[in-house]
């Protein structure tokens, strides 16, 4: 029998997906022409670190909450993570709408961020039900 309950499993899954989204920022998102080559999600805009930090914090909190015995006590980790995680989805969506010649990295990021949001919300719902 698993030592993790439904909440912990969902949190771990959401955290892993969020972590993978952070990694997908460094995959090619747009096909580039000339010497510059392909453009990664982190190369699109100088403020790429902002969604990275928000998603990394959300994922880190969920992972620690799932792995620690008592969780974070009074800190509502599932709610906070559900609030922060969509930053990655919005960032990805903004550039998917704005960019041309999309590459696999952009679609990978979209799938990972959407799945991370869904599992974070599921964790929050499970947490609210108690």
Binding site for another protein (CB under 8 A): 45-47, 50-51, 54, 83, 86-87, 90-91, 93-95, 97-99
Residue placing its CB nearer to another protein in the complex, 12 or 55? 55
Q: What is the SS3 assignment for 82-93?
A: HHHCHHHHHHHH
Residue placing its CB nearer to another protein in the complex, 54 or 109? 54
Residue ranges of the alpha helices (H) in 25-76? 49-67
In the bound complex, what is the minimum distance in angstroms from residue 123's beta carbon to another protein? Answer: 17
- Phi/psi for 40 (5° steps) reads -85, 170
Cα 12 from Cα 128, distance rounded (Å): 17
In the bound complex, what is the minimum distance in angstroms from residue 87's beta carbon to another protein? Answer: 6
Q: Which of 42, 38, 40 is nearest to 50 (CA)?
A: 42
Alpha carbon dihedral 123, 19, 46, 103, in 10-degree steps, equals -100
Residue placing its CB nearer to another protein in the complex, 55 or 66? 55
Residue placing its CB nearer to another protein in the complex, 84 or 115? 84
In the bound complex, what is the minimum distance in angstroms from residue 97's beta carbon to another protein? Answer: 5
In the bound complex, what is the minimum distance in angstroms from residue 2's beta carbon to another protein? Answer: 30
């Amino acid at each position: 029998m698993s030592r993790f309950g439904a909440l912990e499993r969902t949190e771990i899954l959401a955290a892993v997906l969020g972590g993978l989204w952070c990694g997908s920022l460094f995959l090619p998102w747009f096909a580039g022409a000339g010497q510059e080559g392909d453009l990664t999600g982190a190369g699109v805009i100088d403020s790429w670190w902002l969604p990275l930090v928000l998603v990394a914090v959300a994922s880190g909190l969920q992972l620690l909450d799932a792995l620690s015995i008592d969780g974070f006590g009074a800190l509502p980790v599932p709610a906070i993570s559900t609030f922060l995680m969509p930053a990655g989805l919005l960032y990805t969506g903004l550039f998917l709408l704005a960019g041309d010649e999309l590459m696999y990295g952009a679609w990978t990021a979209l799938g990972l961020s959407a799945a991370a949001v869904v599992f974070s919300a599921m964790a929050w719902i499970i947490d609210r039900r108690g």
